[in-house]
Amino acid sequence: MAALSSHAEWRALKEHFLAVKDLELRDLFDADPQRGTALTAEGAGFYLDYSKNRVTRETLSLLCDLARARGLLARRDAMFQGARINVTEGRPVLHVALRAPSTVAIKVDGHDVVPDVHAVLGQMSAFADKVRQGTWTGYSGKRIRTVINIGIGGSYLGPEMAVRALRPFADPAIAVRFVANVDGEALRAATADLDPAETLFIVCSKTFTTEETMTNARSAREWCVAGLGHDAAVAAHFVAVSTHTAEVARFGIDPAHMFVFWDWVGGRYSLGSAVGLSLMIAIGPERFREMLAGFRDMDEHFMTAPLERNLPVLMGMLAVWYNNFHGLETQAVLPYAHGLARLPAYLEQLQMESNGKHVDLAGRPVTYQTGPIVWGEPGVDAQHSFYQLLHQGTKIVPCDLVGFCRSHADLPGHQDFLMANLLAQAEALAFGRSAAQLAEEGVPAAQIPYRVCEGNRPTTIILGEALTPRALGALIALYEHSVFTQGVVWGIDSFDQWGVELGKVLARRIMSEIQGGVRGGAHDSSTRALIGRYLAHRGLSG
């Protein structure tokens, strides 16, 4: 792929940026009475209003031209066709196959993977029904009341986010909890009030060797065996999401209760696979398949909608616009929906693990910024936290505001108030309040400088009807394909994560030194001193 700066479309955008960088949203709206409805798009049940972004219609046209020049259409098609677009690992990228209908064929090396996907979905559905109906019982014959998912990264963030989001659809008789952090307090807190006889653990680890996950799994096994009195209890209280049959069996789990997924599914894209088993138990197989249908809705929109009307493309290219032209390094995701409290955390991994890269597909250092820093909190909570910086701080932060027209909670006035806040914040960020306006309102002159809000802060509103399983699937896929779009433009591999490995390698070395009471290993002076201090406090030094 040619260098990004060599494209005429890139140079055209740089010239355009110089012409529009100082434009004010107030002026853009005054000059175009139709802007608020013209700069919108719809697809897969969502309405995207990007009119409060610092763009003109020409900006969007030029951004779409750049996406075409960078080969977005061909690379998108290659992903859906099973090509090995994860170049550093030589793998296809087929999370889209997880939600493909059984009538679609997606082949990897001549093998259609869609029947494999549906076979695992069938296995998951049968097991989830047994747990939900009480026919799967623990070692002592008691019904399962709590499911604990043990995993980390994509084996935890997606399921946890979705279980919270879809709680109105969940079976109240079964609690679902998550343990990721290797801090022993995380597992202790998750099990403190539980009866082992009524607890099921789902251990999610592709290789069944992930240190954090297996440390927690072994401690959970000890807790279970201590409570039930026999190693044989493990088979009734543990199942695995893995590909390593031998390790699963060695742990004490019946391989018949191992749910597989594939190396062409990245962890952060794996919610629709067996990694979502805890979610399926919570909401049931039918609702889980509704979520998969929502994913597919957005997949088809991404595949078929013109770029200028394509929601993931528009969002992805707006991120490029702010990241590479305005020099804005962060993006806030602000869900105005209680159920989406963990969406920002989920998107932190999706975006920053995917596009936090410093070399291109050819291994050459990039000369431009790649993935933005993504962060956020639920909207109304955040208004009383960090919105002060959004409105009056010296940093400009593009914001996604996600909301729904209907709530599952039938409390008079609440949803109206919630959405009034979403709309008001977007308006305030865009247009602010000038010194002249404050003076007209009678604000004391001494206070005016402190109360001015400059406005011109960009927001994108993502509006759905209600937070249902289908809507959640479409929303996740919207962000997945937005991240993909950005990665294609930057010419990077969005599907590897080698930067995660170095810390793990060093942690294993330090762990062996700590357990051996070793001082003075091959580390820098700071790390050696910290290891020594830790050993001394723990009484582990010789």
Q: Which residues are catalytic?
A: 353, 384, 504
Cα separation, 356 vs 363, in Å, equals 14
Q: For residue 471, how far is the Cα from the chain centroid?
A: 15
Q: 216: which 2 tokens?
A: 């927690």
Q: Is the CB of residue 191 less than 8 Å from the CB of residue 199?
A: yes
Q: For residue 501, how far is the Cα from the chain centroid?
A: 20
Please report which residue ranges of 134-257 form alpha helices under DSSP H: 157-165, 184-191, 211-228, 234-237, 245-251
Q: Which residues contact 69 (CB under 8 A, 6 or more apart)?
A: 7, 8, 9, 10
Cα separation, 344 vs 385, in Å, equals 15
Cα separation, 486 vs 498, in Å, equals 19
User: Could you tell me whether strands 330-336 and 373-375 are parallel, antiparallel, or unpaired per DSSP bridges?
Assistant: parallel
Residue 240 belongs to what H/E stretch?
Answer: strand 238-241
The backbone torsions φ and ψ at residue 202, rounded to the nearest 5 degrees and listed phi first, read -110, 115
Q: How large is the C-alpha radius of gyration of the chain?
A: 25
Sort residue 513 into left (φ over 0), alpha (ψ -120 to 50) or beta. alpha
**H helix count then E strand count, the chain:** 23, 13
Distances (CA, A) of 476 to 111, 470, 481: 27, 10, 9
Residue the block writes with tokens 């609690």: 175
Q: Which amino acid is at 239?
A: V
Q: Is the CB of residue 66 less than 8 Å from the CB of residue 10?
A: yes
Q: Alpha-carbon dihedral of residues 3, 64, 330, 352, nearest 10 degrees?
A: -60
Q: Is the CB of residue 315 less than 8 Å from the CB of residue 48?
A: yes
Q: CA angle 183-184-186, nearest 5°?
A: 75
User: Could you tell me whether strands 146-150 and 111-112 are parallel, antiparallel, or unpaired per DSSP bridges?
Assistant: unpaired
Q: 84: which 2 tokens?
A: 């090995």
Other residues' Cβ atoms within 10 Å of the Cβ of residue 180: 20
